């Protein structure tokens, strides 16, 4: 299903949930209850200050658009394919990251580095920093109603989670073979990030890049311990994006001074 069709369907589902409206109590018919199938409609209406007596399909579309980071439905309809793909990921991963958290994160990167990220680069960051990394939990509510899963599926997921639990890192800095493995992974990830980012002064960024410093001082902090070794390895890409942006800004500033 195309992203636009997906969001149209979610709007219809939200409006269907709204149409289950009933008076919550006989004593106060102005207070409504619902029997929703798709969304926590009470939570949505409360958090977004929705008028429950004047809700329509158009307003449902507007609310779905806001859930995935757009100001209004027409902005979503006019978005590029990459922006819609990013919005779909935000909708599907509300348990990890809200649109509000995501926008604050991107605004912080752009403000700190005085740059504007392309939709394609934002999508890369979202996938590397959040979607492909376990352990994130949104500070906002996940408004989707979860469907019950068959017990065998739950069992399979539990087995996969158990299989992922490996050796823990309990002390810093890393030493020996662990440190060597992390540094080699960082070197490889750096080349990938450089290719995606295409900084104005790549040679300057390479001169500033120090994989040993990145592993020893940037990637992990004492407050993160103990941490699963494989999970820590998966963080290298996510954290490196922001670090290389900082190096790119520093390289740009040095280039200006030299000229």
Which pLDDT score is estimated for 148? 41
Greatest Cα-to-Cα distance within the chain, rounded to the nearest angstrom: 77
Nearest to residue 233, comparing CAs of 258, 215, 210, 247?
215
147 belongs to a structural domain = no
Number of domain units in the chain: 2
92 belongs to a structural domain = yes
Enumerate residue ranges in the chain where pLDDT < 70.
24-30, 147-166
137 belongs to a structural domain = no
Same domain for 206 and 99: no
Q: In the numeric block, which tokens belong to residue 232? A: 């820590």
Which pLDDT score is estimated for 40? 94
42 belongs to a structural domain = yes
Which pLDDT score is estimated for 237? 79
Which pLDDT score is estimated for 159? 41
Same domain for 123 and 196: no
Q: In the numeric block, which tokens belong to residue 105? A: 């994160």
Residue 112 sits in which domain range?
Answer: 3-131
Which pLDDT score is estimated for 153? 36
Question: Any bridge partners for residue 22, and if so which?
Answer: 33
Which pLDDT score is estimated for 29? 60
Q: In the chain, at which residue ranges do the beta strands (DSSP E only) sit?
A: 22-23, 32-33, 168-169, 227-228
Which pLDDT score is estimated for 28? 56
Q: In the numeric block, which tokens belong to residue 114? A: 């005085």
CA distance 59 to 183: 51
- Neighbouring CB atoms inside 10 A of 47's CB total 12
Which pLDDT score is estimated for 206? 94
Whether pTM exceeds 0.75 = no
Which pLDDT score is estimated for 10? 97
195 belongs to a structural domain = yes
Which pLDDT score is estimated for 147? 53
Q: Is the dihedral of CA 84, 86, 87, 92 positive or negative?
A: positive
């Amino acid at each position: 299903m195309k992203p636009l069709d997906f969001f149209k369907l979610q709007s219809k589902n939200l409006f269907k949930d709204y149409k289950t409206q009933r008076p919550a109590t006989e004593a106060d018919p102005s207070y409504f209850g619902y029997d929703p199938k798709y969304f926590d409609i009470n939570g949505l209406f409360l958090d977004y200050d929705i008028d429950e007596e004047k809700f329509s399909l158009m307003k449902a579309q507007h609310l779905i658009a806001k859930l995935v980071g757009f100001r209004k439905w027409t902005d979503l309809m006019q978005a590029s394919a990459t922006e819609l793909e990013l919005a779909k990921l935000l909708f599907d991963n509300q348990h990890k990251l809200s649109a509000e958290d995501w926008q604050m994160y991107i605004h912080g990167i752009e403000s700190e580095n005085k740059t504007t990220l392309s939709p394609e680069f934002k999508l890369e960051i979202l996938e590397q920093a959040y979607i492909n990394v376990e352990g994130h939990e949104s500070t906002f509510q996940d408004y989707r109603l979860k469907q019950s899963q068959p017990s065998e599926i739950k069992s399979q997921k539990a087995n996969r989670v158990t299989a992922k639990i490996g050796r823990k890192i309990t002390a810093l800095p890393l030493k020996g073979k662990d440190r060597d493995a992390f540094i080699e992974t960082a070197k490889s990830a750096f080349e990938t990030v450089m290719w995606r980012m295409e900084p104005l002064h790549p040679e300057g960024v390479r001169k500033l890049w120090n994989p040993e410093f990145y592993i020893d001082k940037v990637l992990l902090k004492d407050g993160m311990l103990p941490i699963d070794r494989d999970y820590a390895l998966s963080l290298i890409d996510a954290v490196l994006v922001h670090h290389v942006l900082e190096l790119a800004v520093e390289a740009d500033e040095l280039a200006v001074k030299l000229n």
